[in-house]
Structure 1
Amino acid sequence: MTTVNEAAPPALPARQVRLVVLGALLGVLLSALDQTIVSTALPRVVADVGGIDDLPWVVTVYLLTSMATTPVWGKLADLYGPRGTFATAIGVFLAGSLLCGLAQGIGQLIAFRALQGLGGGGLFALALSIIGAVVPPADRGRYQGAFGAVFGLASVGGPVLGGGLADSLGWRWIFFVNLPVGLVSLATVWTTVRVPRTRRDHRIDVTGVVLILISVTALLLYLNWAGRTHGWTAPGSLALLAIFVVAAVALLAVESRAPEPILPPQLFRVPLVRVGGVFAFLSGFTMFSGVVYLPVYLQEVAGMSAARTGLAMLPLMLGIVATSMGSGMLISARGRYKPLVVTGAFLVLLGTLALTRIGTGTPYLFIGAAGLVFGAGVGLTMQPVITAVQNSVPLQDIGAATGSVNFLQRMGSVVGTALLGSVLSSRVASGMADALSTVFLVAVPFAVLAAVVSMFLVEMRRPAAPGGAPAQPAAEAAGD
């Protein structure tokens, strides 16, 4: 029988809960924007500080450090509480943002982006942990649906804002703009979140952190260098792949014995966490195929400016926003999430299949419709799985569970971005339109796998009020 966590978060006044959610959403906005706002300003960066050969690392190093530290922040939230941990993460992110804006060379910018990523890795997972810590299980879906909406807005608004700032105030302002938003988020969460916690002895799993960094770095280097420069089977490439495998195996062994593991193995004995983690990886891979490479098509093939591309992405954004918020409300009202996730996974598959058909001269009506379907699927799959995972573990493990699943989702998005980027680079000689259709074609098998895995997720019902009777599988509770 599938059960949910029965410990009730501390009861807070509705106004205070709304303020907490606002502060957390601002943190998510910073994290989401930083994945989209930088790319459109990169040409300006090169013109100012040089270093075109090292330019990809401005993006890659942020993804690397943010992804590798996501489960670390989740564990720290369980050990020290979400408020102080969130404050630390956003402080590190803002320090990195300030230094990025002041960088005088490409080497400095890369180093400061790594620092920014260290903090950025905690913003999304910790914001979800804060919601899990202060919002009763019955209401989490409604609030967390807004998180997907923020991501949708950032995916469209980021390129437009980045291009606009780079053209007007200069590229440094794509980093300086983080400061006022981040300070408001920090102040809001710090003054409103009051979560009592029991002090307990703890140890930081330093070995686990190091092995995560080594394994993820080796994998990203393999995907970035092997596919684009050295070849998939070159000796250096295979050496990187071997380092990844060895470090990953060592990580599994270390985490099974660590007193306070970063990725607690016992959490993955929970069916929702285990299957939800696999689904998060696959959906993250597929999701970024449309979010990252559809704008490339609109600019490089359709010839749109950055601002027009943002407008052309509105159908995809509206799909994400509408279904993210709608799914949250449905989960809060009905307590069931699986039909939403399965529907969303098949919509993403349908949208991905449609995007394989785009080329030169494709009518925008077709592109907009494909983007709307794709976005609607993304909105139905992003948050419901995390909400269900949070409701399936004890309150004291919410941070680790959220961080672990979010880590796998980020891992999927980074692997997808790197692998599909390598496919694009290898195919671009045949024409950008053909290369991009190939990119979407490569994403199709991952979308198929995500749809299949979604059907193995365990449905459950949870009590409308926290602390009620244990949940039952939906088939037993509903009699269907």
Structure 2
Amino acid sequence: MDENTENKETRAPSLPSNDAPAQLEDNEHENTAKERSLQTPQLSASEDQDHEQKYVSGLQLVIIMTSLSLAGFLMLLDTSIVATAIPRITDHFHSLDDIGWYAGAYQLSSATLQPLTGKMYNQFSTKWTFMSFFAIFELGSLLCAVAISSSMFIVGRAIAGMGLAGLVNGCLTIIAGIAPLHKRAVLTGTLMGIVQLGIVCGPLVGGALTEYTSWRWCFYINLPIGAVAAFALLFTDVRDQVKKPPASAVLRNIYHELDLLGFALFAPAAIQLLLALQYGGNEYAWNSSVVIGLFCGSAATFVVWAVWNRRQGDNALIPVSMARRRVVWTCCLTQMLLMTVAFISAYFLPLYFQGVRGKSPVISGVYTLPSILSQLFAAVLSGVLVERVGYVIPFALFGSSIATISSGLFSLFSPNTPAGKWAGFQILNGFGRGIAMQMPMLALQANVQPHELSSANSLLAFSQYIGGAIFLVVGNTVFSETLKHELATHVPGVNGAAVAAAGATAFRHIVPPAILPAVLKAYARGIDNTFFIAVATGSLSTVTALGLGWVDLRKKKEPEKKVTEKKEDA
């Protein structure tokens, strides 16, 4: 006891001068320990906690991972399948003017709710919060399937997006609760690989269902698959990483616990930004009062929210002490940049195959299989390797470099690029993304406290949504302007604006056959230039990845003994 007291006395003068002047020695000791844990955050998820928490294994682990994989697969399937169904939906409802809202309502509600989901997972049971969001997602799918009007369909898409908001966060939070840190790399890699299959299956499944049954089955299909996932998860034991207060206690003070005022400020700021990005260059010109007003309103509201968020401190919608840590914001920034590489590829490769090569949506989906399958393989492989090597930065640097180089190779595509090249370049790109994309997630889990994990995951998800929204708009602008310039320069007799507005395949009907090869070359050039955005963001990710932290994710037995001995000595 004398030694402990002496240590406290020697430590007390080193505390920051802005600490509360009247604190008990026990509180000083607790605060000092907390500060030390923030400086060495690997202890937040270190292996010395493994013996204190009973993790899931065996059949139960397989069931949980299968349920999460099915739920994640449905998320991306629902994201990509709607693109194939939209033409038939607009024919059914005579709602061509609502096309933008069919995807926009889904993205708006999902991105806006992301930070709030972090607070909800912090306060309520992880399992039942996930199940609730999944039920909301399924309800939205049902409303879309039975919609009797375009407005009802848009509402269904918005509700499905609200459910989606909590699923990404929930999957990562559940994995953190069922497995120790050194096993999460393999589980996360497997999950991400299977989930990514939803992107490529979307056009294939959507094309088949729309052609042979009805567009409504593009949404009905979520119900039976979702029921299987939910039923399996219902009877498994998903434990929370940290002890949660009773739900009744949270509900009595929900205004404070969830920072609803902060959300009331954050939501309109995010919505205005996303609306400005959606309207700009489409329904309104970029210099129109509507778009400029939305940007200004978003910026002003974000400023007000930032002031409130800072005032709230660690009780805020996005905890300040967590967000300002270098490893947290570099993880979010790296994830945003890597997801931009993925979004650019996922959006413009099908455009190349359909617009330039003249393939159907289904065949276009088949042609993107090299990218998806190589990403699936690399995601699982990288999880196994991280478990052995222990550090994420080497894999993040290697994967982002490969993805960047292959994105540059995409810019060489022409109307006559042989299959060996476009397939080989996709294999490289998918392999690089599969290696790198889970690394920010793993780094985040290794560098935050368990009670911060849900908020950190929600910030990560929001970052990638916003990044994707911004850079896809930039990509569309680059494509459109390049296409118009190339047509004006090399095919002056063609209306570039009309070709761009006609769509990926319909422009062939308005272009004379004699000049079609030149138009296809200009179309390819426009798509090629968009991949330079992926090159730029991928290059930046190799810089930001250096901040992911050198936390060893491997299970170490010796440090556990040393920590135990120190505790016994104390």
TM-score bin, normalised by smaller chain: over 0.9
Q: Under a length normalisation based on structure 2, what TM-score does the superposition of the two structures give?
A: 0.79
Equivalent position of 1:412 in the other structure: 467
Query: C-alpha distance in 2, partners of 1:408/1:96?
Result: 24
Conservation of the 8 A alpha-carbon contact between 1:3 and 1:470? no
Instruction: Identify which range, 16-25 or 462-471, moves more after superposition.
Output: 462-471
Query: Pick from 388, 400, 407: which aligns with 1:333?
Result: 388
**Post-superposition CA distance 1:406-452 (Å, at most 9, x none):** 22122212222233234334444434222212222233322222222
Whether the 8 Å CA contact 2:413–2:524 is kept in 1: the answer is: yes
**Aligned letter for 1:10?**
K
Question: 1:390 maps to what in 2?
Answer: 445
Structure 1 window deviating more from structure 2 (408-417 vs 419-428): it is 419-428
Paired AA for residue 331 in structure 1: V
Say whether 1:3 aligns with 2:41: yes
Aligned residue in 2 for 1:103: 147
Matches within 5 A, 1:347-426: 347-426=402-481
Contact 1:223 1:419 in 2 (8 A): no
Cα distance in 1 for residues equivalent to 2:323 and 2:546:
18
Q: Does 1:238 align with 2:282?
A: no
**Alpha carbons of 1:237 and 1:194: their partners in 2 closer, same or farther (altered >3 Å)?**
closer
* Runs of 5+ consecutive residues of structure 1 not aligned to the other structure: 472-480
In structure 2, stretches of 5+ residues that fail to align are: 1-38, 251-256, 488-521, 563-570
Which of 214, 219, 235 is the equivalent residue of 2:273?
A: 219
Indicate the SS of the match to 1:55.
Answer: helix
Quote the residue 1:288 is aligned against. Answer: 343
Match of 1:247 among 301, 309, 313: 301
Structure 1 partner of 2:73: 29
- Show the counterpart of 1:199: 245
Q: CA deviation at 1:251?
A: 2.4
Cα separation, 1, equivalents of 2:212 and 2:122: 43
Query: In structure 2, what is the Cα distance between the partners aligned to 1:144 and 1:173?
Result: 30
Shift in Å, 1:291: 1.1
Which segment drifts farther, 15-24 or 78-87? 15-24
Alignment of 1:60-459 (within 5 A): 60-195=104-239, 197-199=243-245, 202=250, 203-258=257-312, 260-429=315-484, 430=487, 431-459=522-550
- Aligned residues of 2:41 and 2:447 also touching (Cα < 8 A): yes
Shift in Å, 1:233: 2.9
Q: CA deviation at 1:374?
A: 1.3
Aligned-partner residue type, residue 253 of structure 1:
V
Change (3 A) 1:462 1:442: closer
C-alpha distance in structure 2 between counterparts of 1:207 and 1:145, whole Å: 36
* CA distance in structure 1 between the partners assigned to 2:210 and 2:310 by the alignment: 47
Kept in 1, the 8 Å contact 2:331–2:460? The answer is yes
Residue 89 (structure 1) shift = 0.2
Given residue 280 of structure 2, which amino acid in structure 1 is its aligned partner? A
Describe the SS at the equivalent of 2:438: helix
* TM-score relative to the length of structure 1: 0.93
Describe the shift of the 1:132–1:465 C-alpha distance in structure 2 as closer, same or farther (beyond 3 A): farther
Once the two structures are TM-superposed, the CA of residue 116 in structure 1 deviates from its matched residue by 0.7
Deviation at residue 467 of structure 1 after TM alignment: 11
Q: Which letter maps to 1:212? A: F
For 2:118 and 2:448, locate their aligned partners in 1 and report how far apart those are by CA, in whole Å.
14
Q: What letter matches 2:270 in structure 1?
A: V
**TM-superposed deviation, 1:232:** 2.6
Identify the range of structure 1 (277-286 vs 224-233) with the bigger mean alpha-carbon deviation: 224-233
Whether contact under 8 Å (1:463, 1:469) holds in the other structure is no
**1:3–1:392 Cα contact (<8 Å) kept:** yes
| Counterpart code for 2:59 | R
Larger of the two Rg values belongs to structure:
2
The alpha carbon displacement at 1:178 in A equals 0.4
CA 1:467/1:132 → structure 2, altered by over 3 Å: closer, same or farther? Answer: farther
Is 1:44–1:171's contact at 8 Å kept on the other side of the alignment? Answer: yes
Tell me if the contact between 1:138 and 1:466 (Cα under 8 Å) persists in the aligned partners.
no
Aligned partner of residue 33 in structure 1, secondary structure: helix
CA distance in 2 between partners of 1:46 and 1:467 (Å): 63
- Aligned positions, number: 471
Q: Is the 8 Å Cα contact of residues 193 and 379 (structure 2) preserved in structure 1?
A: yes
CA distance in 2, matches of 1:374, 1:226: 30
In structure 1, C-alpha distance between the alignment counterparts of 2:557 and 2:87, rounded to whole Å: 51
Q: Aligned with 1:36: secondary structure?
A: helix
Equivalent position amino acid for 2:551 in 1: M
Specify whether residues 432 and 216 from structure 1 end up closer, same or farther in structure 2 by C-alpha distance, changes over 3 A only: farther
| 1-structure distance, mates of 2:418, 2:465 | 32
**Using the alignment, how far apart are the partners of 1:416 and 1:428 within structure 2?**
18
| Equivalence for 1:476 | none
1:464 match: 555
2:136 is aligned with what amino acid? V
Q: Secondary structure at the match of 2:358?
A: coil
Report the CA distance shift for 1:439/1:14 in structure 2 as closer, same or farther (over 3 A).
same
Instruction: Give deviations 1:378-404, integer Å, cap 9, x for gaps.
Output: 111221210121121122222111121
Q: Match of 1:218, as an amino acid? A: Q
Worse overlay, 205-214 or 34-43: 205-214
Letter of the aligned partner of 2:89 in structure 1?
V
Cα deviation digits, residues 214-269 of structure 1 (max 9, x gap): 22222222222223343333333221111121122222222223363222222123
After superposition, the CA RMSD in angstroms is: 2.2
- Quickly say closer, same or farther: Cα 1:117–1:273, change in 2 above 3 A: same
Describe the shift of the 1:437–1:74 C-alpha distance in structure 2 as closer, same or farther (beyond 3 A): same
Counterpart of 1:474 in structure 2 is none
- Assess if the C-alpha contact under 8 Å between 1:145 and 1:383 holds in 2: yes
Q: Contact 1:71–1:400 (CA<8 Å) still a contact in 2?
A: yes
Q: Which has the higher contact order (CA 8 A, sep 6+)?
A: 1
Residue 42 (str. 1) matches residue 133 (str. 2)? no
SS at match of 1:399: helix
Residue identity opposite 1:403 in structure 2: S
By how many angstroms is 1:59 displaced? 0.8
Query: How far apart, CA to CA, are the structure 2 residues paired with 1:128 and 1:104?
Result: 36
Query: Offset at 1:180?
Result: 1.1
Cα distance in 2 for partners of 1:59, 1:224 equals 10
On the 8 A contact 2:174/2:238 being kept in 1, the answer is: no
Identity of aligned residues (%): 25
For the residues of structure 2 that align with 1:377 and 1:470, how far apart are their CA atoms? 38
